[in-house]
Structure 1
Amino acid sequence: MPTVSPPVTVSMRTRDGVRLDADVYRPEGQGPFPVLLMRQPYGRKIASTVVYAHPGWYAAHGYIVVIQDVRGAGTSEGRFRLFEHERADGADALAWAATLEGGNGRIGMYGFSYQAATQLLALAGALDSGGPKPAALCPAMMGWDVFSDWAYEGGAFCLYGGMSWALQMGAERARLAGDAAAYTEMLAAAKNLPLYEEHTAWPAVLQRHGRYTHYGDWIGSPTPGGYWDRIAPKAALAGRTGDVPMLHVGGWYDKMLEGTLGAWQAMAASRAAQRLIVGPWGHIPWGRRTGIVDFGPQASSPIDSEQVRWFDRYLKDRDNGVGHEPSVRLFDVGAKTWTDFAAWPEPRPQAWHLSSSGLAAARSEDGVLDRALPAATSLDTLVHDPWRPVPSLGGHDGMPPGPQDRGALDGRTDVACYTSAPLSAPLRLAGRVLAEVHVDVDAASHDLCAVLSQVTPDGRCLTLTQGYLRIADATSPGPRSVAMRALCATIPTGAALRLSLQAASFPAFAVNPGTGLGVAKVRLFDCRVITLGVHGGGTRASRLLLPVEEG
């Protein structure tokens, strides 16, 4: 591989005259070379190395690599406004990168999370202006509509993730403004979240330093549209694909998996190649171990190599086989291996029904999950106490994410559990999961969290997937449909499946007060005890719909 020159800081001007700074890594040797562009808000020296190889590694593969501070970040000029400038500024950055000395005018973009959204927003801006568009993209773990796949889930505000990130972003803005007091206060809050103040979701530190963060916009916009359409790649592209080859990367335990899948599905209309890779990872890192499970050497991130292959194919026209590979590659978290699909798996949902003797919340062994319709009706009662809400554990919303043993959690009497008999043959699940639950409730509003786990022969209960739903109006007709995260998992012979139902997952989500009050106004003082009744069998038969791959 060619050697790489030390990075050089190079600047450009946006259409409104704002200077944006970037570090440029150049391979030594005969060019011209394609350009790889990353646009990010954390300070360009980081360059997303929390999940990717260093930019110098990419440059050594024959690319000019540009890591740019977005407006108001790092040493770039201007005021940072979350995502709001990335459409126009991204288009300007593409036009500038196309003229870089030593470049051949062909541009690829890569990055995850915020840096994934900047790719799609730059594409939208290029399509708006008619400027040069990227020749290839690699968005990973991104927000597509941002509202439902980042800030909220099932209508409930993602408290832990939303507050943590707002404090991180706010602290960085305060640092750049020279406000040491605000930086120190937000740093301390980020390391020990202020979750027990009068207003749970609107702590004093974020109220005092709101000028540095987007947090007020997020908790103040509890419904889609409006603000969200100003920042979301989905709204910016508005049905357009740009016909750009894209490699989409997600993680089963990433909080933004739905955004990754949303972008992938939207780009299916593109005339250019689209490929999806989903590994057994949370948001960071992308290693072989997530939660308490070691998924083996195959799980160690292949994404750096996969991105170089993608860029080699679509920026250098190398016939390296990329265009002939299956379009979907999913990591099977049960078999601990990669599995290829010609398309996203959509098997016919298989119904598994809930029943009990009425003690599914009192004893984790009482509730039954079975293919057969129950012969009799059942009713399980669980009581949600806001003084001791069910804690978040593993999956995509617990910290740390990934598989965790929730056996002790399932022993709580505010969690109703329904467990299958041990499997007599392996069961492969691939696709989306849905829980349809008939409930009675004694409050104006309530939450419902559904968790699917694998119960191992030695008694562990390992998280597979989960979903969360806020029912704003408890009088609306049921059943309650809880969309759980997609998965790919082979459940082995001898293991069992368990569905756990609970009315909270704190602090991943703000506790529902039961009154219908909006999240920004809720006080812990106002939260009330909520009693839920879960029905099984008869005309109100609750069930779990599983994506079972036959044969």
Structure 2
Amino acid sequence: MNHSIIAQYNLRVPMRDGVTLSADVFRPAETKQDARVPVILVRTPYNKNQKSYIEPARYFAERGYAYVTMDVRGRGDSDGEFVPYRHEGRDGHDAVEWCAAQTWSNGNVGTLGASYLGRIQWLTALEMARHHPPPNNALALESQAGDVAPPEHLKTMIVMVTPSDPFVETPTGVPGLQHLCWLYLVNGRLRQPMEEINWDPIYAHLPLATMDERAGFASPRWREELKHQTLDAYWQAWCYQNKFDQINLPILHISGWYDDEQIGTPLNFTGMTTRGATEFARTHQKLLMGSWGHNVNATQKLGEVDFGADALIDLRGYELRWFDAWLKNQDDGITREPAARIFVMGENKWRAEHEFPLARTQYTNFYLHSDGNANSRYGDGALSLEAPRTEKTDRYLYDPARPTPYITDATSSQIGGPDDYAAVQQRGDVLVYVTAPLEKNVEVVGPVRVTLYAASSARDTDFTALLFDAHPSGFRQRLCDGIVRARYREGMAHASLIEPHKVYEFNIDVWYTAHVFFAGHRIGLQIASAAFPKYARNLNTGGDLATETEMVQAAQTIYHDTAHPSALVLPVIRTHLTQ
């Protein structure tokens, strides 16, 4: 039933320290004075008065919800100082409690939001858990289903395109360069126009520590982050992915395979299904992964790739079903549907799965081979199921002054899509390994990784890996990619420089995809030492990443032989490949 709506603007919501935040409320205009409804809370740093927030507010209010949009501290009409993430857990908790206490609220609150709005939901959930810890014994309060009930007031979350913990997406010791774009975007109280700046020369600026000045503004946050080049207490303060065992909530996780922050969503889903606070939490997670970029469910076409009409769904209707189940106790069966709903690209079809990664996955090694000339797409680099024996090494020179490019839009939140890397792979500082044309379709769904045996003339350097689909037409479609910085090869807790010319085993997370390589196509792997400007260049000196300006060329050697079986490891679901 659709309801008429009451809208209230700029309500002042007090936080525990006396700062007041601004909230707009859209709710049903009920005739009964005692009518109380569940609440959906959205907290944003991007100005709650935008049309993109008002449209869903009206949609949910018409369907029996109070929809609260709130400017986070220091942004929009809210008081206080905006420091990314610093206050979001406490403020989120206080906002949930305020929503639950209103005369028009029935006390059931769900949260909703994407990207920054997604990560701060996790911080809110952790703060809620501190005040309402999950039960630790079997005699705890149970729901009608016999499961331990979620905490009072905050009942569920819908988190979309949520960033991971620090250094998961950028394990380089410094933020991704486009993070500075975001800091510019939220500089001041309202959104700043990123398109007014030519970012390319800014990305090339050294040292990183003064890149904000080069962009024309001062960012204390940028400079502070650059001081913390390992996963120290500064970053730990807003980590959440090591605390899933504190969270007792049903959660809907949404992202796309081409979201630049895609990594967080599958990691969070898997983390909650395996480490959630209770069996209730572990069994009430849902994953929805489309072909989309950071702007989920917006278009069926990304770049030159059209994923078909099925790529778009009634996402808002799906969110409504989820909230109805957990905030109204009106479950139409969504909680009993398979846990994962994923879009398999190439095939361009949705599929329901009971888990992710899939239990039937066959992790398959595609070994690197060459006769020592894998440079560029014109070289002799090959991938096959046969393990290498005695083979020549592949060599290339990485020059930070001329870094291997990564295809991106400097003013967009979409860092990488299904882009064509054919031109990039003409460079001599790029190694390319491809299979023979496939005889049958090969389906790959899940986490991709690369084991790379390599040496460098430098004391620190980077190795990047990019999985692509080599179409018969010549189009080389990026699927996913990753990086390892040599000094962090053992993790982000500490840095350890390498010994020049010594062979090391590097493990590169290339992250997630769901894609069918069709017969006649080739599976391809690109190896390089930069993906600029997605990642800040490694200058190869082993110096301080924030302040160094000197560049050193690095002579890189990739090994693939019996003692050094470098391999692309694919999560194969169906394959008819033979040795």
Q: Normalising by structure 2, what TM-score?
A: 0.86
Residues 50-106 of structure 1, C-alpha deviations (whole Å, 9 max, x = no match)? xx9532122222211000111111111111111111111111111110022322111
Is 1:428 the equivalent of 2:443?
A: yes
Q: Which runs of 5+ in 1 are unaligned?
A: 177-182
Cα distance in 2 for residues equivalent to 1:223 and 1:517? 14
Is 1:239 the equivalent of 2:245?
A: yes
Query: Alpha carbons of 1:156 and 1:228: their partners in 2 closer, same or farther (altered >3 Å)?
Result: closer
Cα distance in 2 for residues equivalent to 1:413 and 1:147? 29
Residue 226 of structure 2: aligned partner: 219
Cα distance in 1 for residues equivalent to 2:311 and 2:263? 21
Find the partner of 1:275 among 269, 286, 310.
Answer: 286
The alignment-based identity, stated in percent, is 27
* Alignment check: 8 A CA contact 2:415 2:534 kept: no
Find the partner of 1:311 among 316, 319, 323.
Answer: 323
Query: Alpha carbons of 1:106 and 1:545: their partners in 2 closer, same or farther (altered >3 Å)?
Result: same
Find the partner of 1:465 among 449, 461, 480.
Answer: 480
**Within 5 Å, which residues of 2 pair with 1:92-491?**
92-130=94-132, 132-149=152-169, 153-155=170-172, 157-170=174-187, 172-173=188-189, 188-189=196-197, 194-200=202-208, 202-205=210-213, 209-210=217-218, 213-234=220-241, 237=243, 239-241=245-247, 243-268=248-273, 269=276, 270=278, 271-272=280-281, 273-284=284-295, 286=297, 287-346=299-358, 347-393=361-407, 401-472=416-487, 473-475=497-499, 478-491=504-517
Find the partner of 1:496 among 499, 509, 522.
Answer: 522
Cα distance in 2 for residues equivalent to 1:280 and 1:442? 40
* Alignment check: 8 A CA contact 1:34 1:106 kept: yes
SS at match of 2:572: coil
Residue 64 of structure 2: aligned partner: 62
Find the partner of 2:39 among 35, 40, 51.
Answer: 35
Cα distance in 2 for residues equivalent to 1:201 and 1:379? 37
SS at match of 2:168: helix
- Deviation, 1:400, is 5.3
- Deviation, 1:340, is 1.5
Query: Alpha carbons of 1:522 and 1:262: their partners in 2 closer, same or farther (altered >3 Å)?
Result: same
* Alignment check: 8 A CA contact 2:7 2:24 kept: no
Query: Alpha carbons of 1:219 and 1:352: their partners in 2 closer, same or farther (altered >3 Å)?
Result: same
* Alignment check: 8 A CA contact 1:291 1:394 kept: no
Cα distance in 1 for residues equivalent to 2:70 and 2:198? 26
SS at match of 1:233: coil
Cα distance in 2 for residues equivalent to 1:284 and 1:491? 25
* Alignment check: 8 A CA contact 1:94 1:132 kept: no
Q: Which amino acid in the other structure matches residue 287 of structure 2?
A: L
SS at match of 2:537: coil
* Alignment check: 8 A CA contact 2:166 2:231 kept: no
Query: Alpha carbons of 1:298 and 1:357: their partners in 2 closer, same or farther (altered >3 Å)?
Result: same
SS at match of 1:360: coil
Cα distance in 1 for residues equivalent to 2:120 and 2:84? 11
Residue 17 of structure 2: aligned partner: 16
- Deviation, 1:239, is 2.8
Find the partner of 1:88 among 69, 87, 90.
Answer: 90
Q: Which amino acid in the other structure matches residue 73 of structure 1?
A: R
Residues 294-325 of structure 1, C-alpha deviations (whole Å, 9 max, x = no match)? 11122225432211110011111113110111
* Alignment check: 8 A CA contact 2:109 2:155 kept: yes
What is the CA RMSD across the aligned residues, in angstroms?
Answer: 2.5
* Alignment check: 8 A CA contact 1:48 1:111 kept: no
Query: Alpha carbons of 1:238 and 1:434: their partners in 2 closer, same or farther (altered >3 Å)?
Result: closer
SS at match of 1:364: coil
SS at match of 1:203: helix
Cα distance in 2 for residues equivalent to 1:333 and 1:26? 39
Cα distance in 1 for residues equivalent to 2:120 and 2:26? 20
Q: Which amino acid in the other structure matches residue 388 of structure 1?
A: R
The total of aligned residue pairs comes to 532
Q: Which amino acid in the other structure matches residue 8 of structure 1?
A: Y
* Alignment check: 8 A CA contact 1:434 1:481 kept: yes
Residue 77 of structure 2: aligned partner: 75
SS at match of 2:203: coil
Cα distance in 1 for residues equivalent to 2:335 and 2:212? 53
Cα distance in 1 for residues equivalent to 2:122 and 2:376? 49
Cα distance in 2 for residues equivalent to 1:148 and 1:506? 18
Residue 48 of structure 2: aligned partner: 44
SS at match of 1:521: coil
Residue 146 of structure 2: aligned partner: none
SS at match of 2:555: strand
Q: Which deviates further from its counterpart, 404-413 or 22-31? A: 22-31
